[in-house]
Chain A
């Protein structure tokens, strides 16, 4: 029993390494057979090329490999930090010091002035 626990604990210690070596720790894993230009764009992390290819494959939805390819392309696009259409909105403001400019009661602090 002690031997088994010892073996299991050694095995558990190896898991992160196993995850790395199999690529599961990466942002995306590539499908087995991607078309060469797709694989090349993914390997290069070329944002413009990835977007162009994604549009191209979306325009040809009948292609047999379409789903796997577009999934791989979209994973690759979203794994790049600034690739794709970006939009931002302000959700909330937590004041820390001084005036809270987004406080509806007094956006300029106690000295809010009328117009």
Chain B
């Protein structure tokens, strides 16, 4: 009986270990990443911020080049809740998928119509990769 109980305890402890808390993702890092991505919108550096698996990546970059006034920029109005969606640990690396709700505004000066702005709220899904320097 005692042996059975010990086995049960061991199994329970293993389960507890397997369900360890995920490593925290620094909210400041996420906010900074959002700011940088949105600052790069409609600039040649946006490509560096879009993941290789971002849907219609090349079409978006082309559309920004052709359909958007060159001076248009995004301004972050508010950054809402940050949620950890997935986390994966590799050899000296931690990959986290986080979602963050952002209200932003595109602003530009139109020669005929003057100052223009368009607002949009979206959930941005970012991959944050943290690597241990070796």
CA distance A98 to B89 in the complex (A): 36
Interface centre among B68, B74, B104, by most chain A C-beta atoms within 10 angstroms, is B68
Interface size counted on chain B using CB atoms at 8 A: 69
B122 touches A24 (CB 8 A): no
Which of B45-90 touch A at CB < 8 Å?
Answer: 49-56, 59-60, 62-70, 72, 74, 89
Contacts of A58 in B (CB 8 A): 134
Tell me whether A96 and B132 are in contact in the complex, defined as CB-CB below 8 angstroms, given that A24-B13, A104-B59 are known contacts: no
- Tell me whether A96 and B126 are in contact (CB under 8 A): no
Judged by a CB distance under 8 angstroms, whether A87 is at the interface is yes
Question: Once the chains bind, are B121 and A115 in contact (CB under 8 Å)?
Answer: no
> Chain B residues with Cβ under 8 A from A95's Cβ?
120-122
The answer to whether the Cβ of A99 comes within 8 Å of any Cβ in the partner chain is yes
Whether A33 is near chain B, meaning CB under 8 Å from some CB there, is no
Q: Which residues from A are CB-within-8-Å of B13?
A: 15, 18-19, 22, 24
Closest A residue to B49 by beta carbon equals: A90
Inter-chain contact A96/B122, CB cutoff 8 Å: yes
A55 to chain B, nearest CB (A): 6
Question: DSSP class of B's interface residues: helix, strand, loop or mixed?
Answer: mixed
Interface size class of A (residues with CB under 8 A): 35 or more
Check if A31 is an interface residue, CB within 8 A of chain B. no
> Which residues of chain B have C-beta atoms less than 8 A from A112's C-beta?
63, 67-68
A74 & B92 in contact (Cβ 8 Å cutoff): yes
B89 to chain A minimum Cβ distance, whole angstroms, is 7
Q: Are B29 and A107 in contact (CB under 8 A)?
A: no
Q: A74 near B118 (CB under 8 angstroms)? A: no
Contact with B along A59-92 (1 / 0, CB 8 A): 0000000000000011001110111111111111
Other A-B contacts than A51-B133, A90-B49, A115-B68, 18 sampled, CB-CB below 8 A, are: A11-B5, A15-B12, A78-B89, A78-B130, A81-B24, A82-B29, A85-B131, A89-B49, A90-B126, A91-B54, A91-B125, A92-B54, A93-B125, A98-B119, A98-B120, A100-B122, A107-B60, A115-B67
Residues of A that sit less than 8 Å from B by CB = 7-8, 11-12, 15-16, 18-19, 22, 24-27, 51, 54-55, 58, 73-74, 77-79, 81-109, 111-115
